[in-house]
Amino acid sequence: MMQVTLLVNGEERRLSAEPLTPLLDVLRDTLHLTGAKPVCREGFCGACMVLLDGAPAVACLTPVALADGRSVETVEGLGTAETPSPVQRALEEHEAVQCGMCFPGMVVTLTHLTRPGNCAPTRDAVKAGLVGNLCRCTGYERIVDAALAVMEDGR
Amino acid sequence: MQGLAPPPVAVPRTLPEALAALSAAGDGAAPLAGGTWIMRAPIRHEAHAPAYVALGRIAELRRIDVADDEVAIGAAVTHAELAKALSPFSDLAALAAAAAGSANPAVRNAATIGGNLCARGFPAADLVPALLCLDAVVEIAEAAAPAGSRRLPVEAFLADPAATGGGRIVTRIVLKRSGLRSVHVRLPLRKAGDYPVAIVSAAIGVGGGGRVESARIAVGSVEAAPRRWTGLEGAINGERLDPARIAALAASLAPEFSGRDGVEAPGWYRVRVLPTLVGRAIAALAAAA
Amino acid sequence: MSLSAETAVRNFRRRDARDKLTGRTRYTIDRGHFGMLHAALLRSPVPSGRIVRLDIEAAARMPGVRAIVTSADAPGRAGIGIADHPLFASNVVRYRGEPIAAVAAETEAEARAALAAIGLAIEPLPAVLDMAAALAEDAPLVHPDWRDHAVLHAGGARGGNVAWEATVERGDVEAAFARRDVTLVETSLRVPRQNHVPFEPRAVVARFEDGRFHIETSTQVPWTVRNATAALLGVPAAAIRVTVPPVGGGFGLKFDWALEPFAALLARRAGRPVRLVNSREEEMQTCLFRENAEIRIRSAVTADGAVAGREAVVLMDCGAYGGEQVFLTTMTAHTLGGNYRLGAVRIVSRAVYTNTAPNGAFRACNGVYNTFALERHTDEIAAATGIAPETFRRQNVVGDGDLGATGQVFEGDVLGPMLDRMRALRDKTPVATPQDGRLWGRATTVGTWFVFTGPSAATVNMNADGSATLVTSGVEIGSGSMQQALPQIVAATLGLQPEDVVVRAADTDAAGYDVGVGGGRTTVSLGAASRAAAIEVRTRLLKVAGDMLEAAAEDLVMADGRIEIAGARGSGLTIAEVAAHAQARYGPVSGTGSFAAAGTPAMAGCCAGHFIEALDIPVFAVHDCDLAVDPGTGHVEVLAYRVVQDVGRALNPPAIFGQIQGGVVQGLGYALHEEADVGPDGGIRQASFETYRLPLAGDVVPVAIDLYEGAPSLGPLGTKGAGEVPILNVGATIACAVARATGGRVCELPLTPPRVLALLSGEAPPPAFPHIAERHADNLLPSAPRQGGGG
């Protein structure tokens, strides 16, 4: 076991874990942040996406040892029921949600993509940015519409 | 796996510390870079190494030094960092494109160039054929020789199963700047997001008459290990950058590959598409010229 | 008093979106209880074999282990049509991955370590891994004891490795094929399995308290789970309560029992809550796939393009247990036998046992590949007769008064006008043909599906605060029908806003029986039951209001949260006032409603072995696409996709558009990317997201959609189910367009780049089926009931 310090959604959390434990399991099982979903556990689906020092990371393939001392933002830190983020609000307004399992990861990726300079405001660019976020229900297009709307508002 | 203690991970800050930690951890201990390959060992039903030494906090392994005559890339540089740093240089376009197009954005933020080279048993690695066509040299450090790094051409590195392991750490990848234009063409089965079923990376020099003077062409994912396509390199010498003509040459030489059958694609398909990929590579080079 | 959709609030947004977007929704996989144990299953490593040793002694002594159960603990069998499926393998294993034992321990790692300590020895037996092997002469039988299985639904022929056989025969097909003036067209086609890949795997948390089981599970069918668990465990069904948290995707996978009985047994044995969740690999290996199928279809067509006769053999791989395929043999008559007017027809549809993981239900099950087969065959008919495919379809689609394959009489002209609407939609959404050397193809196809009606129950409690609580066993699986259509229907009936209707999550202790969420039935069956319950509430409220207002109930209207005398705005009371008065005076107001299938008739004597002989509510779809094929690599790019869908009445167009976009994309996966097949070891070769390729954002296009309203429907407010059908003819449409682009005979899906490249180079011959006999009659079990040729 190793002692690990994570800055989780702005709060310092100290815990002990086997160093190769996926960050995903630490978030869910130890910190009860169940927003990030274990779906494929091989870095393809993006349902466990978090921001690690501000950059998207698949928490399933991130050993907690490599997250030690770093900032981890999860979907829970990006917005709440009372104060959803612009990305969350846009997805809601575009009626993008179906089963919802992919959306925590979608929200994290789109939060990064819609920050200035990270993605051109075009359908193709947004779709390229979503290569690592799969959705089985929606057929994606409304998610892209929502992302473009956020970029449009942010300009 | 079962019954073994979970492996410890050391997180050193310097290369000497890492080498020391690796030899202290004993036989079978391995470096850990981005983790995107090693963390999937359970999915492949493979055992973890008994111990790991993480490289991500070692500053010198995270540097990219671009000089006029050579580029030195730290082994722990991620695909995303590499793509960004190399994007201005047309001679390094193959490597930049390989780094920018592999896997998906989050994996590119974690996966490293050293990890890509050391993930033996992963035939679809994007960076490796790009490094082959750019004539890369791999630097390896070991505790026994901390002062001087061993340097191996990438082909020799790939051919030598003992180049990694045994307390060795890949530290840098060095590319001579040839000035040739280079290109990387990959073929995923979907538009993106797959491992490519075939890759063609090429660095080609064209003389004043518009004819090929030098060519280094590498093929990835088609066979179990990436390799140079020396037959095609020789055949296009003196040819113009005519995609159809060179694709036809590639078609005549493609049978020298024995495609690997995989769940995602049969071997014949990987070979069959090579001329098309070569044609695309030549078209891209001709357009850039 | 008439009720109509005009009073329904449309375009009502779903109420679960925000929690899903902020990561707060707790699916079954996110749930836990104090003292909860973690379970794991020991699964067979071989596809067929005899268990010669199963020793759990050592495993039981492993650290953290609290309970181990095996076949000795679960004596029963379950199934659909035939009770052939035990919970655990006992004596023999019939597929790789079949559960043999279950362990509960303090941690999942301890449970898995204990699995490794179970002493298991299996003597391998010959396995039949595909239908050709299963139907070969002297093939080993997957169920040598098939005669001993209890039959739950009479009428299907069974024998050997044929788990179930359904037949249709209407008219004299022999005579039609013998005519001198017909052209004979024959097409053979094959499709592999498709994996649902819901992002939430099958998962359960079970408890055993006060002599009853409480099962929280990710399911579409709480009542099936309740009843099947009881049958498998040999306990009374009343001893089981099933509740369902939000479900992270189902698509039909969760239309059957799964992990629940294991967790229930372990919870009872250990006296602790038990969690059991499939790993992704377990899901990939043992999901109840859309079945692989093999189809031969023949038609006799006259020069003017009438189908004088049609015959077909459809083989459906059910895997090691009959499951849903036994039922789905029924659907061939309506899908492969659908779409077009037929002079005479005979079809045999067989569910075949193999030593592979059981298959199951998947969105528009059976219909997806039969529509692929029928529409490709239709294009081959058009080519053989020299009639343009569009013309052939417009001439031959079923219309008002036409007979279906089983002799059902269709009502209304629907498909014909839908084809006209598709032509208009194409004109409105043109695409440029590729100018880059790629091959262009386009196609329009038609499809016939249905609403799976069946029993539903609902209760509406009218609260004194003016809100209503709707109690059903319906489950929200992501499609939104529980969140949108049902409160819309109840609100429309009661003059409330949909927001005023609380929707109770499924609980078999609280609500009456329901078949489950699937088959497009939520809006129709649960909707009809909910509407009936709301009408009862409405009647009672109006009576009370009539007393309060000194007016006749029939002179009152309920709208906008008020009950008023018709034509006199402001004359009445709020619904809350009436409900509060009623509650105080007579007791709280509630109503119950129920619904069952209408039982639409087929022609007498046409069908044998069918569960549904005619469609209560047919649903039609017309799809169209433009695509480009890369001749160098075989890649297919969809340039445009268009859908005209029969929805009866569109209560919530944005929700339906969302279902169509999502369903079409799942269909694109089936048509182009997703392939699951059985390897030589009996396992599914595509065991992870690396090799099982789901469509990505970059692989899809926005679907152009036109909703066709006004077709006849028994559904409440004229609705039909809209969520299931969008996947129906995607495989067909892509296949027809690729065939036209390449000039090749497309006979298999998915059209992956290797398959398309082989097609382009003439290296993809149509499949040959030595196990389908030349003569139709030789494809029937000897015991199958036969109809005379006269029909």
Residues on B contacting C at a C-beta cutoff of 8 Å:
2-3, 43, 187, 189-195, 197, 263-266, 269, 272-273, 275-276, 279
Of the candidates C116, C686, C752, which has its C-beta nearest B189's C-beta? Answer: C752
What pLDDT was estimated at residue B164? 85
Question: Please, is A76 exposed, middle or buried when counting C-beta atoms within 10 Å of its C-beta (0-12, 13-18, 19+)?
Answer: buried
What pLDDT was estimated at residue C597? 84
Kindly determine whether residue C199 and residue A102, on different chains, have CB atoms separated by under 8 Å. Answer: yes
Q: Measure A155 CA to nearest chain C CA, in Å.
A: 23
**CB within 8 Å of C48: residues ≥ 6 apart:** C92, C93, C94, C95, C124, C125, C126, C127, C128, C140, C142, C355, C682
Residue C287 covered by a domain: no
What pLDDT was estimated at residue C786? 44
Of the candidates C14, C20, C662, which has its C-beta nearest A103's C-beta? Answer: C20
Helix H, strand E, coil C: the string for C342-369 is CCEEEEEEEEEECCCCCCCCCCCCCHHH
What does the pLDDT average to over C539-556? 96
Residue C777 covered by a domain: no
Kindly determine whether residue B105 and residue A18, on different chains, have CB atoms separated by under 8 Å. Answer: no
In a shared domain, residues C608 and C737 = yes
Token pair of C236 as six digits: 């009374």
Token pair of C332 as six digits: 């061939």
Residue with tokens 């901390």: B146
Q: Is C550 on the interface with A (CB under 8 A)?
A: no
3-class SS of residue C270: helix
Nearest Cα to Cα of residue C712 among C623, C616, C632, C779? C616
Specify the CATH class of A86-154 in words. Answer: mainly alpha
| H-assigned helices in A19-102 | 23-25, 64-67, 75-78, 86-93
What pLDDT was estimated at residue C129? 98
pLDDT score of C3 more than 80: no
In a shared domain, residues C217 and C227 = yes
Kindly determine whether residue C691 and residue B2, on different chains, have CB atoms separated by under 8 Å. Answer: no
d(CA B206, CA C769): 55
In a shared domain, residues C555 and C543 = yes
In a shared domain, residues C87 and C235 = yes
Chain C contact partners (≥3 CB pairs within 8 A): A, B
Q: Measure C505 CA to nearest chain A CA, in Å.
A: 15
What pLDDT was estimated at residue C7? 62
In a shared domain, residues C636 and C726 = yes
DSSP C671: I
Listed residues C548, C579, C595: the one ending a domain: C595
Residue with tokens 């994912």: B221
What pLDDT was estimated at residue B95? 98
In a shared domain, residues C635 and C513 = no
d(CA C286, CA C97): 7
Of the candidates C29, C655, C694, which has its C-beta nearest A134's C-beta? Answer: C694
d(CA C632, CA B154): 31
pLDDT score of C755 more than 90: yes
In a shared domain, residues C505 and C466 = yes
In a shared domain, residues C443 and C566 = no
In a shared domain, residues C114 and C245 = yes
Nearest Cα to Cα of residue C664 among C737, C727, C724, C729? C727
What does the pLDDT average to over C273-298? 98
In what helix (H) or strand (E) does residue B139 lie, and over which residues does it extend? Answer: strand B137-142
What pLDDT was estimated at residue C499? 94
Q: Is C19 on the interface with A (CB under 8 A)?
A: yes
d(CA C105, CA C244): 24
Q: Is C697 on the interface with A (CB under 8 A)?
A: yes
Q: Taken in order A118, A120, A122, A128, is the CA torsion positive or negative? A: negative
In what helix (H) or strand (E) does residue C554 lie, and over which residues does it extend? Answer: none
Q: What does R_g of chain C's alpha carbons equal in angstroms?
A: 27
What pLDDT was estimated at residue C790? 33
Residue C395 covered by a domain: yes
Residue C445 covered by a domain: yes
Number of domains within chain C: 3
* Domain interval for residue C657: 293-452+602-760
d(CA A21, CA C423): 56
Kindly determine whether residue B190 and residue C695, on different chains, have CB atoms separated by under 8 Å. Answer: yes
- We report the CATH number of the domain holding residue C636 as 3.30.365.10
d(CA B1, CA B4): 6
In a shared domain, residues C459 and C403 = no
Q: Is B106 on the interface with A (CB under 8 A)?
A: yes
Token pair of C591 as six digits: 């109503």
**CB within 8 Å of A43: residues ≥ 6 apart:** A58, A60, A61, A132, B36, B40, B103, B104, B106, B107
What pLDDT was estimated at residue B3? 44
Within 13 Å, how many C-alpha atoms sit on residue C494's CB side? 40
3-class SS of residue C188: strand
> What digits encode the pLDDT tens for the residues C39-50?
999 999 999 999
The residue of A130, A136, A138, A150 whose CB has the most chain C CBs within 10 angstroms, and thus the best one to mutate to test that interface, is A136
> What digits encode the pLDDT tens for the residues C704-739?
999 999 999 999 999 999 999 999 999 999 999 999
How far is Cα of residue A55 from the mean position of the Cα atoms in its chain?
10
Nearest Cα to Cα of residue C24 among A119, A84, A8, B10? A84
d(CA C713, CA C720): 7
**CB within 8 Å of B266: residues ≥ 6 apart:** B259, C754
Interface confidence, given as ipTM, is 0.98
The residue of A1, A31, A94, A101 whose CB has the most chain C CBs within 10 angstroms, and thus the best one to mutate to test that interface, is A101
Contact by Cβ (8 Å): B138, B170: yes
Q: What does R_g of chain B's alpha carbons equal in angstroms?
A: 19
pLDDT band at C783 (very low <50, low <70, confident <90, very high): low
> What digits encode the pLDDT tens for the residues C157-171?
999 999 999 999 999
Q: Which CATH architecture has domain B181-288?
A: 2-Layer Sandwich (3.30)
Contact by Cβ (8 Å): C287, C154: no
Torsions phi, psi for C197 (to 5 deg): 50, 55
Of the candidates A37, A139, A144, which has its C-beta nearest C662's C-beta? Answer: A139
- Please tell me whether the peptide bond between B255 and the residue prior to it is cis, using omega within 30 degrees of 0: no
The answer to whether domain A2-78 has CATH 3.10.20.30 is yes
pLDDT score of C318 more than 80: yes
Kindly determine whether residue B9 and residue A61, on different chains, have CB atoms separated by under 8 Å. Answer: no
What pLDDT was estimated at residue C5? 43
pLDDT score of C329 more than 80: yes
According to CATH, what is the number of the domain B63-176?
Answer: 3.30.465.10
Contact by Cβ (8 Å): B266, C754: yes
d(CA A90, CA C632): 41
User: How many C-beta atoms surround the C-beta of residue C261 within 10 A?
Assistant: 30
> What digits encode the pLDDT tens for the residues C117-160?
999 999 999 999 999 999 999 999 999 999 999 999 999 999 99
Strands (E) in C417-530, as ranges, are: 439-450, 456-462, 468-472, 501-503
| Chain mean pLDDT for chain B | 94
Q: What is the pTM of this model?
A: 0.97
pLDDT band at C9 (very low <50, low <70, confident <90, very high): low
pLDDT score of C789 more than 50: no
The residue of B1, B62, B109 whose CB has the most chain A CBs within 10 angstroms, and thus the best one to mutate to test that interface, is B109
Kindly determine whether residue C116 and residue B192, on different chains, have CB atoms separated by under 8 Å. Answer: no
3-class SS of residue C40: strand
Nearest CA in chain B to A124: B191
What pLDDT was estimated at residue B194? 87
Residues of chain B with pLDDT under 50: 1-3
Show me where the domains of chain A are located: 2-78, 86-154
Residue with tokens 């869908």: C645
d(CA C252, CA C261): 19
Residue C368 covered by a domain: yes
DSSP C389-422: HHHHHHHHB--TT-B-TTSPBP-S--HHHHHHHH
Residue with tokens 């509740």: C243
d(CA C684, CA B106): 28
d(CA A24, CA A105): 12
| Strands lying side by side in the sheet with C618-629 | C439-450, C618-629, C636-648, C704-709
Residues of chain A with pLDDT under 50: none
3-class SS of residue C666: helix
pLDDT score of C641 more than 90: yes
CATH number for the B9-54 domain, one of 1.10.3470, 3.40.630, 3.30.750, 3.30.43? 3.30.43
What pLDDT was estimated at residue B148? 64
d(CA C204, CA A21): 24
> What digits encode the pLDDT tens for the residues B165-174?
888 999 999 9
pLDDT band at C182 (very low <50, low <70, confident <90, very high): very high
Kindly determine whether residue A62 and residue B35, on different chains, have CB atoms separated by under 8 Å. Answer: yes
Show me where the domains of chain B are located: 9-54, 63-176, 181-288
d(CA C425, CA C444): 12
How large a percentage of chain C has pLDDT more than 90? 94
Question: Please, is C119 exposed, middle or buried when counting C-beta atoms within 10 Å of its C-beta (0-12, 13-18, 19+)?
Answer: exposed
Q: Which residues from chain C sit within 8 angstroms of residue A40, using beta carbons?
A: 280, 688-689
In a shared domain, residues C250 and C320 = no
What does the pLDDT average to over C176-182? 97
Q: Which residues from chain C sit within 8 angstroms of residue B263, using beta carbons?
A: 685-686, 691
pLDDT score of C451 more than 60: yes
In a shared domain, residues C614 and C548 = no
